[in-house]
Amino acid sequence: MDSEYIGKVLEGDTHAFRYFIEKYRDMAYSLAMSLVKNGPIAEEVTQDAFLKAYKSLDKFEQRSKFSTWLYKIVTNEGLKRIRKKDFKYTDDIDELNNINYSDVNNSVSELTEQEQKYYINKGLEKLLPNDSLVLRLFYLDEKSLKEISEITGFSNTNIKTILHRARKRFYTVLTEELRHEIKSIL
């Protein structure tokens, strides 16, 4: 279906590009948010990425899926914004070895689906951009290592390393978030 609309856009039907915006805008925004951690900036990144995709559509060689190509553009635009700003993230490696994963799993399984989504997104916001990006692509978007590599430019080995460390960091963040929530209730 994507290739049909690519053809229409390349033939001059500018309105046909709406198909891509409607189909991919939520995912593009989510991906941008994983990187920049700021709603308005994520919106700008998403808009810039769609504009760049539209202007560069004639260069898309269709060796990969359109979504992979678009997500790579979103990723590059997000990383450009991070380089422009002085983003600071904390990285609490010491806590990674003190996690009781079964406690976290039990707490998360008792949450409603909506609550799980809330805490997952809140946790992803607190991770380093690369961690958040790779976790989102692999687990939430169910992208393969090959697709993640195409989107990010990372090697498979690097992706596996990021996934391993990011899972631990995510559990640390999630554990803290749940502890904080429980303390505020009590």
CB 96 within 8 A of CB 172: yes
pLDDT at 70: 95
Tell the residue number behind the tokens 């290739």, with chain if given: 3
Are 119 and 178 members of one domain? yes
CATH number at residue 130: 1.10.10.10
CATH number at residue 24: 1.10.1740.10
The domain tally of the chain equals 2
- For the question of whether the overall pTM of this predicted structure is more than 0.75, the answer is no
CA angle 115, 121, 127 (to 5 degrees): 140
Are 158 and 180 members of one domain? yes
Are 57 and 11 members of one domain? yes
Are 44 and 118 members of one domain? no
Decide: residue 17, CB within 10 A, 0-12 exposed, 13-18 middle, 19+ buried: middle
Instruction: Please give the single-letter amino acid code of residue 31.
Output: L
Last residue of a domain, one of 34, 62, 84: 84
Are 101 and 177 members of one domain? yes
Q: pLDDT tens for residues 5-45?
A: 999 999 999 899 999 999 999 999 999 998 998 889 999 99
Are 112 and 53 members of one domain? no
Report the share of the chain in percent with pLDDT over 90: 52
Last residue of a domain, one of 29, 58, 84: 84
Considering only residues 47 and 111, tell me which one the structure prediction assigns the higher pLDDT. Answer: 47
Are 52 and 101 members of one domain? no
pLDDT at 106: 54
Are 36 and 74 members of one domain? yes
- Give how far Cα 57 sits from Cα of 64, 109, 130, 159, Å: 13, 43, 26, 28
Segments forming the whole domain that contains residue 123: 93-185
Last residue of a domain, one of 84, 104, 125: 84
Are 25 and 109 members of one domain? no
Considering only residues 144 and 86, tell me which one the structure prediction assigns the higher pLDDT. Answer: 144
Q: pLDDT tens for residues 97-132?
A: 444 545 445 555 666 777 777 878 888 888 999 999
Are 103 and 176 members of one domain? yes
Are 115 and 59 members of one domain? no
| Range in 31-35, 139-143, 179-183 the model is least confident about | 179-183
Query: Which sign, positive or negative, has the C-alpha torsion 31, 152, 83, 172?
Result: positive
Are 101 and 76 members of one domain? no
